[in-house]
């Protein structure tokens, strides 16, 4: 099944529930064949956005364009999108094979033909031996593969994934995450993935869309996002950043770019008391109390910390290079 | 059983065990007694001791008890039960589906339906009886006005098995069916229907291929409930049945006139029908399950 991927474009897309606006006229362009994560805290509008793209939620305003075709008002099955649901929503009463063949059955395709095509897809996701099992007899990772096969049989050009890894335990989550990325690469079509985990978004995305309160805060590659967060919200949500007030301006400073010493030297120095020391394996996390600042944390490589260890209550100087300062838009 | 803590029984075990034993005795003791006494010997009476064991009273039952046609009452109850079952299943499922959406006036509708459980059965029954008599009066005067003397002569009453009695039974079974459907759809994950829609199913296909199979066991349960509630209903039927009687009504009448163990034999037979209905329901559920697993095996 060689499916042409297509650019997805959202134009002033808006979702209102009564008086509450969940999504505020957002514009977004997702290039064909890319992996895009919608990232944000719960209630930020990322799921509403995904469901409007999928056609499970009607847009209050604005348009959804896929490959230049306006799909805003089309039924879910006619959009060229397919959805992988949270917890997968595999039909519990049907075998794996019948789950995958479901959409063909709905289209009235004969049993032999639809089973053949379902078998082909199960082979692709390495699930052939499980074709006759019920979903409840599969592990979380196997269910994800079946959900993928079931979505692929509709030959979509965009796959929409609603927190697909949240049902898995942490160990499996990392494995299935890698599998998602590999599939996207092999299939070559667009994946749009909703998540509240910045780690997941970083690991998977070509393009991360950070959302907050119904608005897009920033669209960037994971590298640009981490090195140049556009706002205080983005810096704080991603973690690993300190937001420091310097006069009227706010700057973001990566916690791993800060050094600690016992004496003041250089321009970029602030003194503070050590609040806590947490050993994290490859690095040591030191939290500090700097005057007139929010929480301040420093990630020191393990070796650097133990060359000159400090303990809570000690007064230390935090230092950094001017080149590591990232000025935030206010 | 507690895991691992101790092999000793908790102090509450024996008191609770006695309560449970009493519950079982009260529940099944009377039924068992009737069952045993229905096999009383020909010389035996309505009470213990047993004077031999025989099917004598079942034969007597088959010959008929006095003027009462038990067979006809049996068939009437069976038919009424089946019709009540069908209506209860169809209407409860449809109502359950309707209540999943924001239904205007849904709350009021729900309270009206459930209120019929709270209202004393005999009052409901009397009311239905009176209503149908009013209807009779209306029809009769209409027939007179139209001058249809022949029809008027043949007209008895609108009260009947599949009119007033059916309605009376539905006031009893529908609220139960509706409450069961509420419980079912409360736990029903709407993502299944969204997935079906995403895969191109029409609303009907989604209902037929996804929703119905998933709620199927509960639907069978509602059917069983509807039948058994109808099968032994007396209070609501008593004033609303009209000229004929259902089996429980005949049975109630017989308890004061029949003084032989035939009445017990009748009790045994009706109990067996109740069990048969449940057996058929459970059997068909098991059969469906086996067919599904066979399909998987093949």
Exposed e or buried b for every residue in B101-136, given b needs 16+ CB within 10 A? eeeeeeeeebeebeeeeeeebeebbeebbeebeeeb
Looking at the complex, report in whole angstroms how far the Cα of residue B99 sits from the nearest Cα belonging to chain A: 20
Fold of B70-289: MetI-like fold (1.10.3720)
Residue A301 pLDDT greater than 80, yes or no:
yes
Is the omega angle on the peptide bond into residue B49 within 30 degrees of 0, that is, cis? Answer: yes
Token reading at A81:
């999108």
User: In this predicted structure, what is the pLDDT of residue B42?
Assistant: 82
Selected residue with higher pLDDT from A65 and B3: A65
Do B72 and B65 form a contact (C-beta atoms < 8 A)?
no
Residue B106 Cα distances to B103, B111, B125, angstroms? 5, 9, 26
Answer whether A89 sits within 8 Å of B195, measured CB to CB: yes
User: In this predicted structure, what is the pLDDT of residue B71?
Assistant: 79
Of A54-63, B133-142, B232-241, the poorest mean pLDDT is in B232-241
Residue A222 is inside which H or E element, if any? Answer: helix A222-227
Those residues whose C-beta lies under 8 Å from the C-beta of residue B182, and which sit 6 or more positions away, are B96, B99
Instruction: Report the distance separating Cα A150 and Cα A21, nearest Å.
Output: 33
Answer whether A89 sits within 8 Å of B214, measured CB to CB: no
Query: Average per-residue pLDDT in chain B?
Result: 84
Interface test with B, best of A88, A99, A102, A156 (most B CBs within 10 A): A102
A36 beta partners: A192, A207
Do A256 and A297 form a contact (C-beta atoms < 8 A)?
no
Residue A330 pLDDT greater than 80, yes or no:
no
Global ipTM: 0.85
Residues of chain A contacting residue B197, judged by C-beta atoms under 8 Å apart: 56, 75-77
Q: Could you tell me the pLDDT band of residue A2, with boundaries at 50, 70 and 90?
A: very low
CB contact A99 to B (< 8 Å): no
CB contact A269 to B (< 8 Å): no
Residue A279 pLDDT greater than 90, yes or no:
yes
Q: Could you tell me the pLDDT band of residue B298, with boundaries at 50, 70 and 90?
A: very low
Residues of chain A contacting residue B202, judged by C-beta atoms under 8 Å apart: 106
**pLDDT tens for each residue of A210-225:** 999 999 999 999 999 9
Residues of chain A contacting residue B200, judged by C-beta atoms under 8 Å apart: 77, 103, 106-107, 154
Q: Domains for chain A: give ranges and CATH numbers.
A: 8-227 (3.40.50.300), 243-328 (2.40.50.100)
Q: Which of residues 136-165 of A touch B (CB under 8 A)?
A: 150-151, 154
CB contact A102 to B (< 8 Å): yes
**pLDDT tens for each residue of A53-72:** 999 999 999 999 998 899 99
Interface test with B, best of A85, A99, A106 (most B CBs within 10 A): A106
Answer whether B209 sits within 8 Å of A76, measured CB to CB: no
Answer whether B198 sits within 8 Å of A82, measured CB to CB: yes
Those residues whose C-beta lies under 8 Å from the C-beta of residue B57, and which sit 6 or more positions away, are B38, B39, B40, B260, B261, B262, B264, B265
Q: Which one, of B24, B64, B73, B69, lies nearest residue B265 by Cα?
A: B64
């Amino acid at each position: 099944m060689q499916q042409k991927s297509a650019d997805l474009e959202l134009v002033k897309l808006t979702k209102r529930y009564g008086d509450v606006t969940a999504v505020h006229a957002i514009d977004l362009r997702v290039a064909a064949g890319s992996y895009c994560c919608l990232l944000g805290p719960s209630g930020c509008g990322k799921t509403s956005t995904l469901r409007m793209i999928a056609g499970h939620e009607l847009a209050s305003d604005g348009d959804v364009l896929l490959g230049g075709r306006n799909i805003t008002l089309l039924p879910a099955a006619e959009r060229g999108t397919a959805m992988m649901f949270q917890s997968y929503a595999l039909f519990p009463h049907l075998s794996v094979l019948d789950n995958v063949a479901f959409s063909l059955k709905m289209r009235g395709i004969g049993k032999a033909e639809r089973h053949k095509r379902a078998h082909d897809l199960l082979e692709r996701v390495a699930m052939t031996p499980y074709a006759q099992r019920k979903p409840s007899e599969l592990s979380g990772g196997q269910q994800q593969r079946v959900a993928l096969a079931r979505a692929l049989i509709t030959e979509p050009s965009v796959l929409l994934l609603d927190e697909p890894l949240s049902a898995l335990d942490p160990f499996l989550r990392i494995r299935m995450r890698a599998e998602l990325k590999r599939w996207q690469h092999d299939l070559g079509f667009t994946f749009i993935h909703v998540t509240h985990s910045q780690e997941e978004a970083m690991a998977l995305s070509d393009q991360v869309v950070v959302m907050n309160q119904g608005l897009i805060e920033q669209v960037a590659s994971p590298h640009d996002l981490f090195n140049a967060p556009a706002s205080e919200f983005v810096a704080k949500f991603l973690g690993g950043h300190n937001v420091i007030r310097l006069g009227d301006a706010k700057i973001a400073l990566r916690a791993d770019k800060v050094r600690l010493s016992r004496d003041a030297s250089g321009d970029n120095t602030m003194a503070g008391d050590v609040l806590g020391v947490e050993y994290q394996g490859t690095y040591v996390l030191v939290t500090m109390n700097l005057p007139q600042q929010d929480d301040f944390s420093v990630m020191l490589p393990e070796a650097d910390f133990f060359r000159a260890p400090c303990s809570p209550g000690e007064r230390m100087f935090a230092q950094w290079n001017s080149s590591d300062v990232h000025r935030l838009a206010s | 059983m507690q895991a691992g803590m101790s092999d000793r029984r908790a102090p509450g075990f024996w008191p609770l065990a006695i309560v449970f034993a009493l519950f079982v005795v009260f529940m099944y003791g009377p039924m068992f007694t009737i069952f045993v006494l229905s096999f009383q010997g020909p010389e035996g009476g309505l009470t213990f001791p047993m004077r031999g064991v025989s099917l004598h009273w079942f034969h007597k039952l088959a010959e008929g008890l006095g003027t009462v046609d038990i067979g006809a009452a049996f068939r009437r109850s069976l038919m009424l039960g089946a019709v009540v079952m069908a209506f209860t299943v169809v209407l409860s499922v449809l109502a359950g589906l309707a209540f999943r959406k924001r239904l205007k006036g849904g709350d009021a509708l729900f309270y009206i339906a459930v209120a019929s459980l709270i209202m004393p059965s005999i009052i409901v029954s009397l009311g239905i009886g009176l209503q149908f008599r009013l209807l009779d009066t209306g029809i009769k005067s209409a027939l007179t006005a139209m001058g249809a003397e022949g029809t008027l002569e043949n007209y008895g009453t609108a009260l009947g098995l599949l009119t007033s009695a059916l309605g009376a039974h539905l006031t009893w079974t529908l609220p139960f069916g509706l409450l069961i459907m509420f419980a079912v759809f409360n736990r029903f994950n709407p993502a299944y229907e969204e997935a079906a829609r995403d895969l191109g199913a029409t609303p009907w296909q989604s209902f037929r291929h996804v929703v119905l199979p998933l709620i199927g066991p509960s639907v069978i349960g509602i059917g069983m409930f509807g039948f058994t509630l109808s099968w032994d209903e007396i209070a609501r039927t008593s004033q609303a049945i009209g000229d004929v009687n259902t089996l429980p009504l005949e049975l109630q009448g017989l308890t004061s006139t029949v003084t032989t163990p035939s009445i017990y034999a009748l009790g045994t037979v009706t109990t067996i029908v109740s069990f048969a209905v449940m057996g058929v329901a459970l059997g068909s559920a098991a059969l469906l399950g086996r067919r599904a697993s066979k399909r998987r095996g093949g």
